[in-house]
Amino acid sequence: MSPRLLAPSRLVASALGCALAASAVSGAASVEPKRSYDLPSGDAAATLTQFAGASGQQIIFMMDKVKGERTNAVAGLYAAREALDRMLAGTALSAARDPATGAFVVSRKSAKGEVGPVSDPQPKPKPETMKSSRNALALAVGWLLAGTALDAQTAPAASPAAAKAEETIVLSKFTVSTTNDKGYRASNSVSATRIDTPIKDLPFAVSAYTEQFLADIGTRELTDVLKFAPAVTSGSEGFSNGNSFMMVRGFQSVPQRNGLYSPLYVDGSVVQRVEIVKGPASLFYGQIAPGGVVNYITKRAGEKAAGTVSAQAGSYDFARVQLDVNQPVVADRAFLRFNTAWENLERYVDKTKGDILVVNPNATVKVSDNSSLNVDYTWYRRNEEPQALMRQSILIPLNGFNYFGHYAIADRRYNATSIFDYKKTEVETLTADYVVRHAKDWTTRAVFDWNKSMQKMKQTGRGDVTILLPAAFLARIPTTFQAASLFLNENLPADLSTLATGSQNVRRMRYEANYTQRRTFQLETAGKVQFAGATWKPLFGYQRNTGLNQIYQSQLAPALWAPAWNIFDRRTWIDNDSPVASWPVNNNTFSRFENLGAYSAHQLSLLDDRLIFVGGVRWSKSEAQATQALTGAAGNAFSTKRTTPQFGAGYKLRRDLMLYASYSESFIAANSMLATRGVADRVAAPFLGSGYEAGLKADFLEGRLSGNLAYFNNEQKNYIFSYVEFSTTGITLSTQVQDGNVVASEGVELELTYSPTDAWQLYFSASHATTEYTAISSRDVQYLLGTAPQYTARDRANLWTRYSFQGRESKGFWVGAGFNYTGKKAEISNNPWLYLPAQTVFDAVVGYDWKTAGNRWSAKLTWKNITDEDEVQTVRERGQPSRIIADVTVRF
């Protein structure tokens, strides 16, 4: 939904005021101060981009013209013009100011230019960081429109260098620059502060995974990348959700797409970069869990014509093809990228079959010299007929309570679903992103995002398996819930068929459809102000998000359910069908919501950028109301307001080592009522998160060795638990308790990226974190105190490395290998003392790259799960076995 427009007179007044402010900033910046530089020697295609970040200047160059030219190292205090001249001295390149935009335009000299590099013997100082109610909304909109209008009126024809139909690079504050990425080392992040900022200068942990890393590990979906992140585990049930729910530092997190909500499944074909900002991050992301947020950045149309076609084939009928083509359609002005992928899902599990189709067109238009518009559309379809349900928890009825345990059968190919079951998922996302520059150091970004998702599931096999045990064994079981659970966890055999006298796998007939639609409008303005040796980078933002959720369920009466299976007798595994249209509807709930947020964040650099402060505050408001369509009854209307701060500081002990600390808060609106003895009488409070973090960031050996060591302590208050009482007539009365319930996570993380040579890349991460219920006020769940929430694992370790051979005979060959270790993992909340065993999964790949007829080719063979580990990825699903995947790719 678009925001309400201002009256024309107010809009013009706001626009004029913003235009005058932009002129004032531009005039104040005309006397350019000196800045500290520490730029290495290297290929101009990379070092010119580094200069743009260090100087805060706009720079335009043609990639094909500068690539291969080696610039000089520059270290010291210089004006931008002087620093750039030193970089280019003795090279075949020269720089000139564009009179229209003030940008530096770098091009090649005539044949009689200077020759031979020069050195800069000066000592190297610390490196420069890359800094660069409705009236408030009216002012921001006016600023945006004024910048575009002024540019359209005053900008003359582009300079000759910029007008050529070749690749040019113009950096935007709101777009991540991947040019500085070196192998697996991601230099900058946009997820942490919404402005492209060096990761080494951020006073909190950020994990970032580059395009090369994603390609080397064979990324097909988002979870392929996230399993390498420290303190991150799968947080999805798998069967009824998508693949994107993760536990970050012990708390379930839903990923963001370019900083906005991302629905359900995420296919790797649309992803260019993955970033994880650790800790409570409500300042930028609104309602978010305190562990952190995953933000993936999608591919965008660029200025250079290019294309990629790849085809994969592997074990168990796996196949995947992908096409990615980028093409300028109007020279230097309009660019189109089309990305599509199709995948035939692996058919290892009995009866399963399915496929995925992704279509992702993307267009970028330079509306003016200082503004651009990007429009991105993604359509994702996933069909599973039937889906895989390989793990069903066992249920053993005892005196007054039930015991829940591991899955009932060890057959890795067993599937509890019927051949008549299915899960169909369809997701659409449309995003329009408009960015305009004001003067030299201010940028405004307006985003409109619309998305919807639909998931339909027929769930015949869903449920737990009731296990019948002999009387002699039952007599040995303790009579309290905790004691019985601990006894059975220890004494039940892995193969229950050796003990159980029978089982009953109920075949319920249930259909469920979930529909979600969201609309988001976001407006942000960021700038840079320099004064008295300090650099201040402010950001102001506003966001409005509205939407609708629908849950539709129909189910046959239990008396009409299909006959139960005895899981130990294959002769009873009979699939039964019944038309969904004949099933009575028992739930059709519509929930409407609106979320508002206004926020301001600031970064301040002092003492020649040795001392860095980051902080800000966000005001949020959440409203929601549900309606039961079957009765027409409207539920309670909920409204929650919250202000959440974030602060951090870093001090560079030396130019390549920073000590930092941070504090932040988060919240999630509960939007529900609490009951006392069965009577709803209170509105639930929001779930409140807070977190502390302290650590060291290193960037040694000119960036070849970089890493982060962090200690963190996060908690979330107001968890809701229930306890049950009985009336004098025997009626069950439930009471919800929220006050005093706390879940906390404490641990350490280590993340390292190391490149001993240009041919060798290595990434390693490890974490040790304890997540547990530290305070519980509910009477009948006191047993949870000190236990871990489901899906959490205390220990994680991951490694991936790639080596490219450099010998004359072996050039073009490369190998990669790595592992993912997950310590014992809490399995289900109904049995908090039950853990999945520790698991280590090894992968390896061998590849060969070559050129033919001007095209670049690559072929690789990947061996997944080398040791055939029986991996458990989600609560309801098991991972794939050992398998081989072949891949051939051509780039043109």
For the chain, state the CA radius of gyration: 29
pTM of the shown model? 0.80
Q: Above 60 in pLDDT, residue 30?
A: no
Condensed to tens digits (0 to 9), the pLDDT of residues 786-795 reads: 999 988 999 9
In 305-334, which positions are buried (b, 16+ CB within 10 angstroms) versus exposed (e)? Answer: eeebebebebeeebebebebebebeeebbb
Greater pLDDT, 657 or 165 = 657
How far is residue 538 CA from its own chain's centroid? 24
Q: Above 90 in pLDDT, residue 488?
A: yes
How far is residue 51 from each of residues 63, 179, 421, measured CA to CA in Å?
Answer: 15, 12, 58
| 11: confidence class by pLDDT, cuts 50, 70, 90 | very low
Across 26-30, 104-108, 193-197, 530-534, least confident range:
26-30
| 128: confidence class by pLDDT, cuts 50, 70, 90 | very low
Task: Look at residue 153 and give its three-state secondary structure.
Answer: helix
- Which of 725, 716, 621, 626 shows the shortest CA–CA distance to 673? 626
Q: Tell me if the bond preceding 386 is cis, omega within 30° of 0.
A: yes
Backbone φ and ψ of 141, nearest 5°: -65, -40
CA angle 665, 666, 669 (to 5 degrees): 145
Q: Mean pLDDT score of the chain, rounded to an integer?
A: 85
Backbone φ and ψ of 423, nearest 5°: -140, 120
Q: Above 60 in pLDDT, residue 644?
A: yes
Identify the pLDDT of residue 133.
39
Q: Are 414 and 434 in contact (CB under 8 A)?
A: no
Measured CA to CA, the distance from residue 829 to residue 845 in angstroms comes to 38
Greater pLDDT, 328 or 191 = 328
Q: Are 734 and 704 in contact (CB under 8 A)?
A: no
Count of residues making up the chain: 892
- Which of 28, 179, 101, 186 shows the shortest CA–CA distance to 528? 28
Condensed to tens digits (0 to 9), the pLDDT of residues 840-887 reads: 999 999 999 999 988 999 999 999 999 999 887 766 777 889 999 999
Question: Which of 28-32, 96-100, 458-462, 542-546 holds the top average pLDDT?
Answer: 542-546
| 237: confidence class by pLDDT, cuts 50, 70, 90 | low
Condensed to tens digits (0 to 9), the pLDDT of residues 587-632 reads: 999 999 999 999 999 999 999 899 999 999 999 999 999 999 999 9
Question: Which of 51-65, 315-329, 450-464, 729-743 holds the top average pLDDT?
Answer: 315-329
Q: Above 70 in pLDDT, residue 143?
A: no
Identify the pLDDT of residue 460.
87
Identify the pLDDT of residue 802.
97
Question: Which of 111-115, 162-166, 267-271 holds the top average pLDDT?
Answer: 267-271
* Pairing status of strand 679-683 against strand 673-676: antiparallel
- Two tokens at 547? 């939407």
- Which of 464, 407, 294 shows the shortest CA–CA distance to 872? 407
Backbone φ and ψ of 151, nearest 5°: -65, -40
- Token look-up 């945006």 returns 144
Identify the pLDDT of residue 177.
62
Backbone φ and ψ of 137, nearest 5°: -65, -40
Q: Above 80 in pLDDT, residue 728?
A: no
**Count of CB atoms within 10 A of residue 630's CB?**
11
Q: Above 70 in pLDDT, residue 144?
A: no
Q: Are 340 and 360 in contact (CB under 8 A)?
A: yes
- Which of 823, 833, 831, 829 shows the shortest CA–CA distance to 872? 823
**Count of CB atoms within 10 A of residue 150's CB?**
20
Q: Are 449 and 260 in contact (CB under 8 A)?
A: yes
Question: Which of 52-61, 64-73, 107-116, 195-204 holds the top average pLDDT?
Answer: 195-204
Condensed to tens digits (0 to 9), the pLDDT of residues 427-441 reads: 999 999 999 998 888
Amino acid identity for residue 196 in this structure: D
CA angle 659, 662, 664 (to 5 degrees): 165
Task: Look at residue 160 and give its three-state secondary structure.
Answer: helix
Identify the pLDDT of residue 159.
42
Percent of the chain with pLDDT over 90: 59
Condensed to tens digits (0 to 9), the pLDDT of residues 801-828 reads: 999 999 989 999 999 999 999 999 998 8
- Which of 734, 593, 777, 590 shows the shortest CA–CA distance to 671? 593
Task: Look at residue 627 and give its three-state secondary structure.
Answer: strand
**Count of CB atoms within 10 A of residue 13's CB?**
15
Identify the pLDDT of residue 642.
95
Greater pLDDT, 768 or 732 = 768
Q: Are 444 and 524 in contact (CB under 8 A)?
A: yes
- The H or E element spanning position 757 is strand 742-757
Across 136-145, 218-227, 535-544, 818-827, least confident range:
136-145
DSSP state, residue 794: S
Identify the pLDDT of residue 35.
80
DSSP state, residue 484: H
The mean pLDDT value for 736-759 works out to 94
How far is residue 669 from each of residues 306, 559, 650, 687, measured CA to CA in Å?
Answer: 45, 39, 32, 6
| 176: confidence class by pLDDT, cuts 50, 70, 90 | low
In 740-762, which positions are buried (b, 16+ CB within 10 angstroms) versus exposed (e)? Answer: ebbbbbbbebbbbbbbeeeebbb
Identify the pLDDT of residue 336.
97
Mapped to the 3 state alphabet, what secondary structure does 673-718 carry?
A: EEEECCEEEEECCCEEEEEEEEEEEEEEHHHCEEEEEEEEEEEEEC
Q: Above 90 in pLDDT, residue 36?
A: no
* C-alpha neighbours within 13 Å on the C-beta side of residue 397: 5
| 411: confidence class by pLDDT, cuts 50, 70, 90 | confident
Condensed to tens digits (0 to 9), the pLDDT of residues 258-289 reads: 999 887 789 999 999 999 999 998 888 889 89
| 52: confidence class by pLDDT, cuts 50, 70, 90 | confident
Task: Look at residue 467 and give its three-state secondary structure.
Answer: strand
- Sorted by sequence, the CB contacts under 8 Å of residue 823 that are 6+ apart come out as 793, 794, 795, 796, 838
The mean pLDDT value for 280-303 works out to 91
Q: Above 50 in pLDDT, residue 6?
A: no
Q: Are 194 and 206 in contact (CB under 8 A)?
A: no
In 189-199, which positions are buried (b, 16+ CB within 10 angstroms) versus exposed (e)? Answer: bbbbbbbbbbb
Task: Look at residue 345 and give its three-state secondary structure.
Answer: coil
The mean pLDDT value for 148-167 works out to 42
Ramachandran region, residue 759 (left: φ > 0; alpha: ψ -120 to 50; beta: rest): alpha
The mean pLDDT value for 352-360 works out to 96
Identify the pLDDT of residue 100.
55
Greater pLDDT, 327 or 52 = 327
- Sorted by sequence, the CB contacts under 8 Å of residue 504 that are 6+ apart come out as 465, 466, 468, 564, 565, 566
In 725-737, which positions are buried (b, 16+ CB within 10 angstroms) versus exposed (e)? Answer: eeeeeeeeeebbb
Identify the pLDDT of residue 264.
77
Measured CA to CA, the distance from residue 36 to residue 44 in angstroms comes to 20
Measured CA to CA, the distance from residue 171 to residue 50 in angstroms comes to 11
The mean pLDDT value for 478-493 works out to 94
